[in-house]
Structure 1
Amino acid sequence: MPAIATTDTAVQTARSKYRWVVLSVIVLVYMLAAADRANIGIALPYIQKEFGATNAQAGLLVSAFFLFYSLGQIPAGFLLSRVGVRLVAPVSIGLTSVVTLLIGTAHNFGLLKIYRSALGIAEAALPLSMLSTINRWFPAREKGLATGAFLSAAKMGAVIAPPIGAALIMFDGWRTMFFAFAIPGILMALIWWWLVPNDPRSGQRVNEAEATYIEDQTKSETGVARVHKNFGALDKLLRYKHTTPLATSRSVFASWNIWGCGLGYLLMTGVVNVLLAWLPKYLGEVKHFELMQIGFVASLPFAGGVLGNIVGGWLSDTVLDRRRKPTMMISAVATCLMMVALVYAPNDLLSVSLLLFGTGFLLNIGYSSFSVYSMGVTTRTTYPVAASLVNSAGQAGGAMAPLITGMLLDSYSWTAVFLFLGACSLAALMFVLTIHEPVDLSEQQAAR
């Protein structure tokens, strides 16, 4: 026994940790991409003023990105399954930067809509590339945390975009803001190509011990089969059961588990994107904050979201024994309550700041679980297709909700907007309740 323990310790010591370098690149790239899409919020009042756009037209401008982002998901999923991440991801990163620069050159509202649509197409392959990379580079016991870190990058992008964007607008106008945001992506495309291979075994910086650890899907590090925790009544509510891995694209498209997850994600992404695009306008028109105050406060839901994604990933991986539905349900219920709280939010800076930070934290506790869930019911080959379907649904919600918000503002008020978002959260809960929780997310990956 002592000899075995010594050997295990030696293996642990010898194992490289390059997957965390890969995750760091993913986080940095997605943070920059998220900033490229989030900067429209701080620029929107100035764009409306320059082009004389109504709220509904502004909502359409925001939604144009998410509509084409949604439409690009499924083609991108099939492209990734055929070509691989190493080629698709850098091209997508570079195109995102080019189109961001073009937005700053637009001199009429029609061109702005075209460029925002093109941004959606350019960026469509990015989240799927990163989720596929996580699926290949991390063992099941770490996928929730890794996905939470990945999705927290989107929130970090939304954290940095408003204050930096506000400073750039004050310095030289909204066009300069887009020019500045376009620059880092070109460098990151080259870094991805250099540092992130398609899978661990094709990377020279990964040793055999780490590659074996990543591929170990059904046993714990001690070589003993994992014992599942029993949560009793909660498992009945979750519909916790063995599921057959979806081994073909046809089975993915026929699975209610995938569709139910996607529809829930559609509704929750709608809430996120309304906050992303419309919150600066709300803070200026309703709360009467100054521009730099708006830049700071508008970033707080996404600062809370960074923490929420990471805590939620850890919670579902460890405390909940890789169950993903509970955190989805927590987010749906809590978000509904927070939308009602925003209706009665006071006007002072501190209260609004704390409320928005809490909203972002609770909304994102289960946000990463919508992406991780599909890993547990598919194989590694079919996961990109399932992820593209779920993400396509999510971004469809991201396209519709900002447009509906603009229409509600033209006809009603912000109270109607927050009640609409609360209703979306409750509807998401209903869809999540209808899908199964797979018994062991790691076992589903055994079929390749």
Structure 2
Amino acid sequence: MKFDHNPTLERDAASAPREIPREVVRPKHHLRWAIIGIIILLTITNYLDRGNLSVAAPQIMQDLGISHAMMGVILSAFVWPYAIMNLPTGWAVDRFGVKVLLALAAGLWSLVAILTGFARNIGTFIGLRIALGISEAPLFPGALKATDTWFPDREKAAATSAYIAATQVGLALAPPISTLLMAAFGWPAMFIIMGLIGFVALAGWLVLYREPEKHPWLHKDELRYIREGQATAQQASDAPRVTVREWGGLFRHASVWYMVIGGFCLQYVFWFYIGWLPTYLQQAQGFTLSRAGWLSALPYIAGGVAVLIGGRFSDRLVRKGLDPFNARRYTIAGAALLTAGAMFVTALVNGAALAVVMLTLGMFTYSLSSGNYWTLAAEVVTTKKWVASVGSIQNFGGFLGGAFAPVVTGIVVDHFGGFVPALMLAGFMALISAGMYGLALRHRLPV
């Protein structure tokens, strides 16, 4: 593949003025954070719908006579369509606007959740999981676009980190909420109730979201604060719409591929946790099923805290004068490097308690990157119209890593000596990600 690598253009883009006011008078009004609030609610419902099937799986298998192998197929049916749909949905957000796309997405994933309550055969479950993967794909490209529109540069990572932290909240809440609803009403009603919660979040989005210049509730002081704090002053509503041909041209730039590879390796680590953490705790460390379930929550609790810390840390670097592009990529690279160390130590330690501590530390350090992972897409481009497209392309790479991680880990555990080499592999993936973001990705896209 021939990359369109123009050093002059990229050097000019990288050195373009990024004036961030040092002394800023913050407005008394905070509508921008209400926007983040409704995105958080959408994210939690998204992750509740994503995780509730794994909680209901044992009961569904018993009621419908579905084997473990076939349930694995049903559960994995979500990942591949989600990864693939990140590519066109990012373009669609840039082309048609964030309000319309997120409204359609939230409505569809909530409807899919409700319909899952009526599924009674394998084919229907697989079809609905595919539909869920397709419908949930626009969430983060759309949320990124909204954040880039509504926040000054100095607050973008903190704002992004807030709804990224909500993913950890959703992962932590899905088991207890799903279990309580199933105990009270049964698994079909659990899916239906979860879907109805999604429609409540959708209603909030439709009522609250507008472009800043068109929002009747936005005070002029807050609008001025937002726009004066943005290095790219072009409004999202005024940006030219992205054509398919222009979108395809993004793949000619080496920086895009560095982000795809870095995202692949970084998300491989995350999905190692999601797919294999409880099994590792039971089989490699000897915990009981119930104890492993409770201990599995610890890394996600630590991760939720770390997401917020990582976003505020890179925002602080920006306020101190570091270029936002460099602040985001350095934070990601540093987090990935620390995560690699935690994985290597986990592989080598003796003692179950220490292994749990190191795995919790590993998710903490990984999560320092999470908000910056998305914010970087807004900083690597020079015009707003590409924000969702670049973010979704990066996340496509990330979810490819997520799709491979459970399968590769299983093969390594079965054929190459158990969880020690699997943990070492996850550590090497984190190292590669650190290299991509910290060393290879040095130039903004000249678009």
Same fold (TM over 0.5): yes
Match of 1:21 in 2: 34
Match of 1:381 in 2: 385
Give the direction of change, closer, same or farther, for the CA distance of 1:59–1:429 in structure 2 (3 Å limit). Answer: farther
Residues of 1 paired with 2:36 and 2:200: CA distance? 17
Pairwise CA RMSD: 3.1
Alpha-carbon distance in 2 for matches of 1:166, 1:286? 27
- Which AA in structure 2 matches 1:279? L
Q: In the TM superposition, what are the counterparts of 1:45-444 in structure 2 within 5 Å?
A: 51-54=66-69, 60-168=73-181, 177-197=190-210, 199-217=211-229, 249=247, 251-287=249-285, 289=287, 292-319=290-317, 321=322, 322=324, 323-344=327-348, 351=354, 353-378=356-381, 379-411=383-415, 413-432=418-437, 433-436=439-442
Q: Using a 3 Å threshold, how does the CA distance of structure 1 residues 104 and 280 change in structure 2: closer, same or farther?
A: farther
| Kept in 2: contact 1:324–1:373 (CA 8 A) | yes
Query: Which deviates the most, 98-107 or 358-367?
Result: 98-107
Residue type of the alignment partner of 2:142? S
Alignment correspondent of 1:225: none
Contact 1:147 1:371 in 2 (8 A): yes
Task: Note closer, same or farther for the CA distance 1:418–1:127 as it changes in structure 2 (3 Å cut).
Answer: same
Q: How far apart, CA to CA, are the structure 1 residues paired with 2:286 and 2:115?
A: 32
1:314 Cα deviation from its structure 2 partner? 1.2
Q: Deviations for 1:55-105, whole angstroms, at most 9, x for unmatched residues?
A: xx6654444212111111122122222321222112211211222233444
Is this contact kept in 1: 2:91–2:247, CA < 8 A? no
* TM-score normalised by length of structure 2: 0.80
Confirm or deny: 8 A CA contact 2:87 2:393 kept in the other structure: yes
- The alpha-carbon deviation at position 325 of structure 1 amounts to 1.8
Q: Matched residue of 1:206: which SS?
A: coil
TM-superposed deviation, 1:193: 0.3
Distance 1:277 1:102, change over 3 A: farther
Number of aligned residue pairs: give it: 401
Classify the secondary structure of the residue corresponding to 1:69.
Answer: helix
- Return the offset for 1:156: 1.3
TM-score scaled by structure 1?
0.80
Counterpart of 2:428, as a letter, is A
Partner residue, 2:47: 34
Corresponding residue SS for 1:396: helix
Q: CA separation in 2, counterparts of 1:345 and 1:275?
A: 18
1:271-302 residue CA offsets vs partner (Å, 9 max, x unmatched): 21232233334344444545554443222222
1:111–1:290 CA distance, 2 compared to 1 (3 A): farther
Identity of paired residues, percent? Answer: 27
- Post-superposition Cα deviations, 1:297-345, rounded to whole Å, max 9, x if no partner, equal 2222221111111111111121363311222112222222222333356
User: Is the 8 Å Cα contact of residues 375 and 383 (structure 1) preserved in structure 2?
Assistant: yes
Shift of 1:408: 3.8
SS in 1 for 2:68: coil
Shift of 1:155: 1.3
Task: Quote the Cα distance in structure 2 between the aligned partners of 1:298 and 1:170.
Answer: 22
Counterpart contact for 1:158–1:276, Cα < 8 Å: no
Please tell me whether the aligned partners of residues 26 and 225 of structure 2 are also in contact (alpha carbons under 8 angstroms): no
Deviations 1:321-370 (CA, angstroms, capped at 9, x unpaired): 3311222112222222222333356665x655533432221111112222
Contact preservation (8 Å) 1:41, 1:279: no
Q: Equivalent residue for 1:234?
A: none
Residues 120-174 of structure 1 show CA distances to partners (whole Å, capped at 9, x for unaligned) of 0010111111110001000111111111112111111112123334455566765
Q: Which range moved further: 329-338 or 204-213?
A: 329-338
Contact 2:86 2:392 in 1 (8 A): yes
Give the Cα–Cα distance (whole angstroms) in 2 for the partners of residues 252 and 17 of structure 1: 35
Unpaired runs of 5+ residues, structure 1, are 1-10, 220-245
Inter-partner Cα distance in structure 2 for 1:46 and 1:344 = 37
Counterpart of 2:259 in 1: which secondary structure?
helix
**Counterpart secondary structure, 1:32:** helix
SS of match in other structure, 1:266: helix
Contact in 2 for aligned 1:303/1:360 (Cα 8 Å): no
Contact 2:335 2:369 in 1 (8 A): yes
Match of 2:234 in 1: none
Shift, 1:264, TM fit: 0.7
For 1:405 and 1:352, the matched residues in 2 are separated by: 18
Change (3 A) 1:133 1:394: same
Q: Secondary structure at the match of 1:299?
A: helix
Q: Which amino acid aligns with 2:389?
A: V
